[in-house]
Amino acid sequence: MRTAATVSALALAALVLAPSGVHADVAAVPTAPSAGTAATAATVAANAAPASTATGGTPSRKAEPTPSASTPASASTDPDALVQGTIVDTVAYGRHARQRMDVWHQADELRRPGVFLIHGGWWSSGDKKYMTEISRSYAELGYTVFNINYRLSADAAWPAQRVDTLDAIATARRHAALWSFDPNNYVVVGFSAGGHLATAVGTYKNGLPGLKGVVGISPVVSPLTAYLDGAETLDLNKRKLRESAIRLAGGCEPSGRCARIWQSMEVPEHASRGDAPVLSVHSADEFVPSSHSDQLRDRLRQVGVEVTVLTEAGINHSAPLYRLPGVAERVQEWIAGKVF
């Protein structure tokens, strides 16, 4: 197991809290990669930028890290060889207990594309630990993976959750060399409420440096739509989502003094030409309908940004939807098309 002791820059010693409890050695967890997985893993390794070609990205208020010496990994076509050296560190990107992320990375001198994962949970619950297997799957494909926790609505109202996601990304980009990460080549993948954060980051200002794509799995793109859909319904999930959106807004409804905060929460309102392309996946009969993503698609297409909305049969929401046959593979294929 590799730990924070591999970091030679003393300024980063406090950044890495401890090796994550999710592993002792990632290679010890048996997997049976498909031919497509093996090919994608080989592609990630073969296309990872050498360290000399990566640029620093977002300016930092801290000194750039000096990674410890390591042996460069070979571009093996064996996905198990890629997994063999995986390290998982839990990293603080802020002072709050929720401002943590698990970083799945390699100790080589390549610069790998990154995948940022954002868990769901009504903005009021959930944890990065529920994204462990999905994190592992992208690490097996050769990506550097950042599995993010963020402040929940009971900790702080909107826009704290978006701020946390942006800060996690900025931290990863500042210290890219530490995690064999290309700071100018990454995607963000969010589930349910995490899909709201992913798309909110994707439409922040006129696009984030290095962000190549955003994926939402059952994303709550429009809290206002959730509020309206949950007003007069027998669907308990829609009613809960309405109440959750109100809590996210600090306990107030979308009128009067709170209109501005709700407008800030509405992802389609922030579409601009520099935003990243989006892939959104919904089930046909789930409680977060595809109309959420349709709104974003219509606004982004007006400014020339690609949006793909996929609909699967059934009622599966979030991670259960992602686990349906073929869904994860389509998402992975879309991501590979953006970072290579």
Cα–Cα dist 138/11, whole Å: 29
Mean pLDDT by 10 residues, the chain (340 residues): 32 48 32 47 68 41 32 33 79 98 94 98 98 97 98 98 98 97 98 98 97 98 98 97 98 93 98 98 98 98 98 98 98 97
Residue 43 zone, left/alpha/beta (φ > 0; ψ -120 to 50; rest): alpha
Residue 51's pLDDT is 65
**Those residues with Cβ within 8 angstroms of residue 298's Cβ, 6 or more apart along the chain or in another chain:** 268
Do 54 and 110 form a contact (C-beta atoms < 8 A)?
no
Q: Measured between alpha carbons, how far is residue 131 from residues 10, 78, 127, 156, 205 in Å?
A: 30, 24, 8, 22, 28
Give the pLDDT of residue 45: 62
Asked if 153 contacts 98 with a C-beta cutoff of 8 angstroms, the reply is no
Residue 206: count other Cβ atoms within 10 Å of its Cβ: 11
Cα(267)–Cα(197) distance, integer angstroms = 9
- Report the alpha-carbon distance of residue 97 to residue 87 in Å, rounded: 22
- Sorted by where each starts, the structural domains of the chain and their CATH numbers stand as 86-337 (3.40.50.1820)
> β-pairing, 49-50 with 110-118?
antiparallel
pTM over 0.85: no
The SS3 of residue 326 is coil
pLDDT at 267: 98
Distance between CA atoms of 255 and 77, rounded to whole angstroms? 56
